[in-house]
Amino acid sequence: MISLALLALSAMQRRPVDRIVLQFIGREFIARQGSKSYRAPITPIEPRPRTTIEFRRNNTYAVWDKRGLTIRAGKSLLTTRLEKIAVSPRIYARPEIRRNLALFAQHKRSKFADALSGAYRLGTSAYFLARWDEPSGAPWLEALIKVDLAASKPEPILLGRLDGLSTATLPIDDRLFPIDGAPSAIVRREDQWGLSQFDLRTRAAKFRPMGSELYDLLPEPSLWGLFVERAPYGATVIGSANFRNGYRKILAETQGPARFIDRELPAIALVQSVDGLAIRDLESGCEIPFSDGSVARRAGSLIVIWAPAKQPQTATVYNPERWTPLATWTAAQKSTGLR
The runs of H, that is alpha helices, within the chain are: 2-14, 94-105
pLDDT of the chain, 339 residues: tens digit per residue: 445 444 444 444 444 457 899 999 989 999 999 999 999 999 988 888 899 999 999 999 999 999 999 999 988 999 999 999 999 999 999 999 999 999 999 999 999 999 999 999 999 999 999 999 999 999 999 999 999 999 999 999 999 999 999 999 999 999 999 999 999 999 999 899 999 999 999 999 999 999 999 999 998 767 899 999 999 998 999 999 999 999 999 999 998 899 999 999 899 999 987 788 999 999 999 999 999 899 999 999 999 999 999 999 999 999 999 999 999 999 987 666 555
pLDDT value of position 13:
47
Task: Provide DSSP, 31-89.
Answer: EEETTEEEEEESS--PPPPP--EEEEETTEEEEEETTEEEEEETTEEEEE--GGGGG-T
Please provide the DSSP assignment of 134-155 as one string: -TTS-EEEEEEEEEETTSSS--
Contact 254, 272 (CB under 8 A): yes
Nearest-angstrom CA–CA distance, 168 and 110: 18
User: What is the CA angle 202-204-209, rounded to 5?
Assistant: 130
CB 198 within 8 A of CB 159: yes
Q: Looking at residue 83, what is its pLDDT? A: 96
Terminal CA-to-CA distance of the chain, rounded, Å?
34
User: What's this model's pTM, rounded to 2 decimal places?
Assistant: 0.87
On the question of a cis peptide bond just before residue 154, with omega within 30 degrees of 0, the verdict is no
* The predicted structure's pLDDT at residue 10: 47
Q: Measuring CA to CA, which residue among 126, 106, 109 is closest to residue 118?
A: 126
The predicted pLDDT at position 17 comes to 54
- Phi–psi pair at 155, nearest 5 degrees: -150, 160
Strand partners, 188: 165, 193
Q: Which residues 6+ apart lie within 8 Å of 240 measured at CB? A: 224, 225, 226, 227, 248, 249, 251
Element (H, E) at 314: strand 314-319
Angle made by CA atoms 212, 236, 229, in degrees to the nearest 5 = 35
pLDDT at 335: 60
